[in-house]
Amino acid sequence: MQQSFLEKPSKPPLWTKNFILICITTFMFWAASHMVMLVLPKYALSLGADARFIGLINGGISEYSRPLHRPVLLL
């Protein structure tokens, strides 16, 4: 059966269960990584670390988590 010109083509739904789970998972991953970036330098400062070492800690976390960001974006 052919579709007439007046009928709109049917689109698959966007808000599926898998799409919602991927959105929630991605949000939780990013939220957790940002919380660590806020809390860890303050904790290192309370242990007596200087500003240079705190910068190295933040840089290390950023470089370590970079390979983890790519697979989350591909889901």
pLDDT in tens, 18-47: 889 988 988 888 888 888 888 988 899 999
Report the alpha-carbon distance of residue 6 to residue 18 in Å, rounded: 32
Q: Is residue 21 part of a domain?
A: no
Task: Classify residue 49: in a domain, yes or no.
Answer: yes
Backbone angles phi, psi at 10, to 5 degrees: -80, 135
Mean pLDDT over 52-61 rounds to: 89
- What is the reported pLDDT for 4? 65
Q: Is residue 66 part of a domain?
A: yes
* 65 occurs within a structural domain: yes
Q: How many domains does the chain have?
A: 1
- 17 falls within a domain: no
Residue 48 lies in a domain: yes
Domain assignment of residue 70, yes or no: yes
> Residue 3 has what DSSP assignment?
P
* More confident of the two residues 65 and 55: 55
User: Which structural domain, as residue segments, surrounds residue 44?
Assistant: 31-74
